[in-house]
Structure 1
Amino acid sequence: MQLLLAPMEGLLDFVLRDVLTRIGGADRCVSEFIRISGTLLPERVFLRFMPELANGSRTLAGVPVRAQLLGSDPVSVAENAAFLATLGPEGIDLNFGCPARTVNRHGGGASMLQDPESIARLVAAVRRAVPGHLPVSAKMRLGFDDRGRMRECAQAMVESGACELVVHARTKADGYRPPAYWEQIPLIREAVGPHIPIIANGEIWSVQDALRCREQSGCADLMLGRGSVADPGLALAIRAALAQGVPFVDTFADAVPATLPPLLPWAQMLPHMQRFWVLVCEHLTPNQRGGRLKQWLNLLRRRYPEAETAYQQVRILTDQNAISQWLEQQLAAHAPGQHA
């Protein structure tokens, strides 16, 4: 089983990639999308989105990172892909799934799912532009307004040279509203054949969700997004459940309680949170720093009761030093031998 960390603009960036891959469980990451809009981007832009390029395209924990490009012009995307290839990425991923209105208005992301021929031209151009050994993969949704062309789109990607597909099991119109329609992914599998790896993505928040997704999608491999941000030990917990012999059938997924406590207790989470804060303060502008920690705490509330209190305490803090002091106090309060 392969477990991938999803690209999530403004959330799962290089800072969280560093933290989550240190915790463990992920086999590969994908960068936030790098938008291509008609110009050849300089090296510094690629490094800003994916500083791992300076470390052999790996996080400091050694997990490979694939660069994701988003654009609609085959010539421009291919030229940028060719330059990016000289920087040594693990691979190049193409975004056909972003639902953002600004992206779709300019013909990128999920909007391309309305035109399989444009997808084919883009994938083929990138495949021709980069060395043959470099993987070119694609991430898609089930469609734009509906699922009518999902098989045609997937075929266009694979026949034009994509070696792997990640399928976010919702349409653009579905946005991020539950549920994810994992049961639609086998139709894509039928369309592209048995030899192309397909990775299921969407609404995987727990071990139970992961088991259900594997059964309904027919995919052994999964991509985790918000679920891993809300529960940083989720990938390890999924691996542990499978290692313990939980069968690959949906009926047994019912036997896995949805309310299992996080694999990583809150006291063990706090040092990771402190590292996150240090990296945020080193790499982000002052007006972004506090918001990033609050954003993460907000998602952690989904799995950690302690995160609710932490979020309420931090949300009123605006000074960087005050937040640093709060973190030090939390670490001291939850140190071995102390009572929170």
Structure 2
Amino acid sequence: PQKDDDLATAFDYLKRTHIELFPDDHNTFSDLLTKAGFILTGEPKSAISILTTYANNNDMYRKPICVDQLWRHLKEKHGIHPQRLEHDSRISPAIEDLQNQFFESINPGLINRKIISREETTRIIDAIDNGQDVVVHGAAGNGKSGVLYELAEHLRQKNVPFLPIRLDTRVPGNTAKQFGQDLDLPESPAHCLAGLAEGRKSVLILDQLDAIRWTASHSSTAMCVCKELLRQTRSFRKDKKQIVIVFACRTFDLENDPDIKNLFAENSENVVVKVPVAAFSDEQLKDVIGPDAFVPLNGHQKRVLSCPHNLAIWLEIKKE
């Protein structure tokens, strides 16, 4: 350190040194599991253990670890292969089928079978563009699924890969991977969507989250799968993949169900954007039913019909 030339050399080395913090904690290991599950076949924990053993083998000290040798070790000795989800021909048709099921399940309940543009959808799109996860919430009948329908239609028109799942009819079980296989996907829905997107923006939509509590006999297991999907999505974003997840549930459950509250617990790193879906205003109601039908309504009738679900029923009755 007393020699200027040596100090200059040391500084030259340091300014070209990149240090990446890799804390040995639960969150880091969870991210590692997600990455291993995405790029390797087999059970992620086993794959990580095999890689660790390979690196710590005495024969490997002071020797470079080469890609071809490592793959040969994984394939020949342990039967582990590259996952290559971006080239899996099963994913695209399965996701397209799930998209069609989603649209068909909501379309019959749309008011006059049309999309009514909502300001809430714009807020969700803004959050997605900012790489933020979203929970859409509101009272029963306020049109949360209709907002997600409008969102899905927007994503389809913009050619953004998206995977919508209604949790009242597709109840998760066991693990995220098993849930994906139950949907005719080869892997977890988050893994398959990230693979299909190949670096593009993508959106995983989980509608009717609150339904898990009253339709699933093992609701705690189903909620654990939702947590796993959220964790996987966040891990992918740390790995520079542009994927977000959008949930929908009732406001009552969001505020009172301990499991759902825990799912969306916020900290400095993970902030979920909460988008409330309100009933129609008088102006929106007038736009939908027309001035002639709106003017005769009294205050109580307007309040009843401001709920999109009630309004859809009333308009169907009116047709008859």
Bin the TM-score by the shorter chain: 0.3 to 0.5
* Bigger Cα Rg: 2
TM-score of the aligned structures, taking structure 2 as reference length:
0.34
Instruction: Kindly indicate which of the two structures has a greater share of residues assigned to helix.
Output: 2
Higher relative contact order (CA 8 A, sep 6+): 2
TM-score of the aligned structures, taking structure 1 as reference length:
0.32
